[in-house]
Amino acid sequence: MFDLHVHAAPDIVERFDDDVDTVARYAAAGFTGCVLKAHYESTVGRAAAAARTQGIAVYGGLALNQHVGGLNPSAVAAALASGARVIWFPTADSHTQASAGLPRLCGVRAGLSTHTYALPPVDPTTEARVREIVALIAEADAVLATGHISTDEVAWLLPVARAAGVRRMLLTHPSYTVPAMSAARAREFTELGACAEITTFQLLHQDSVDAAALAAFAREVGLDRVVLTSDAGQVDSPSAPDALRLLVERLVAEGLDRGAVEACAAELPYRLTVN
């Protein structure tokens, strides 16, 4: 298996494990690798350091939140030049995150800016910066992940990315609270070449969501375009490898083909990130 989305310490909130222990768990569980994600820190250097402790592939990336000034091409260029494999468009500082009342850095420490970020058509003034970022991602052949932006923003972004030559596109947990995308819309976007993510975090922590709902979403999108990730690291979630395996087993129990589901947690995310 290959986990494309896991959180580890250090972070602004408590995490289940640090980088080294997280990677060690993946290695012990027989995973081929993982991608470390943080909302407020580049994980590129952290991934490189953790990879030296185990014989598996470990990659990092950058989320475009306040710590880098949001939609900042210079931050993206630096991260990609350092080896980033994934660039997430705004997550915790997306306007959708604020509207939904979900956790943000400004909620951890009083007095910090509550500024949010948006793409066209929500904020047309960001178009030039977004196009520059997309061009950088295409040049590096990295993964463009949509983050927590709205469905309307995704609908604008993906054709722009495809036209710029981006080959690797990921709808970040599209059926999560943000962006609350329907399976029908997600399928439209996968027809543009994107993959759609389903996470264990959704199974364990998203209101009014269960394995049956996630399985129905996967069926409608099509298992050949779905990637399964843990999005683990929370202290009230299982360890990351156990979390991803739990998601696989719960989806299989809902009647999805085991071989196809296991590919969603192994070959598909690996191919999206690495091959």
Give the CATH number, domain containing residue 202: 3.20.20.140
Mean pLDDT over 165-188 rounds to 98
**What would the pLDDT profile of 189-219 be if each residue is shown by its tens digit?**
999 999 999 999 999 999 999 999 999 999 9
Mean pLDDT over 259-272 rounds to 98
Residue 108 has pLDDT above 90, yes or no: no
Please name the residue that has the structure tokens 């395996």.
Answer: 245
Per-residue model confidence (pLDDT) at position 217: 98
User: In the structure, what pLDDT confidence band is assigned to residue 106 with cuts at 50, 70 and 90?
Assistant: confident
Per-residue model confidence (pLDDT) at position 213: 98
Per-residue model confidence (pLDDT) at position 105: 87
Q: What is the 3-state secondary structure (H, E, C) of the chain?
A: CEEEEECCECCCCCCCCEHHHHHHHHHHCCCCEEEECCCCCCCHHHHHHHHCCCCCEEECEEECCHHHCCCCHHHHHHHHHCCCCEEECCCCCEHHHHHHCCCCHHHCCCCCCCCCECCCCCCHHHHHHHHHHHHHHHHHCCEEECCCCCHHHHHHHHHHHHHHCCCEEEECCCCCCCCCCCHHHHHHHHCCCEEEEEEHHHHHHCCCCCHHHHHHHHHHHCHHHEEEECCECCCCCCCHHHHHHHHHHHHHHCCCCHHHHHHHCCHHHHHHHCC
Per-residue model confidence (pLDDT) at position 249: 98
User: In the structure, what pLDDT confidence band is assigned to residue 275 with cuts at 50, 70 and 90?
Assistant: confident
Residue 166 has pLDDT above 90, yes or no: yes
User: In the structure, what pLDDT confidence band is assigned to residue 270 with cuts at 50, 70 and 90?
Assistant: very high
Total domain count, the chain = 1
Share of the chain above pLDDT 90, in %: 96
**What would the pLDDT profile of 13-66 be if each residue is shown by its tens digit?**
999 999 999 999 999 999 999 999 999 999 999 999 999 989 999 999 999 999
**What would the pLDDT profile of 217-250 be if each residue is shown by its tens digit?**
999 999 999 999 999 999 999 999 999 999 999 9
Can you give the residue range of the structural domain that contains 173? 2-273
d(CA 258, CA 249): 8
Total Cβ atoms within 10 A of residue 74: 12
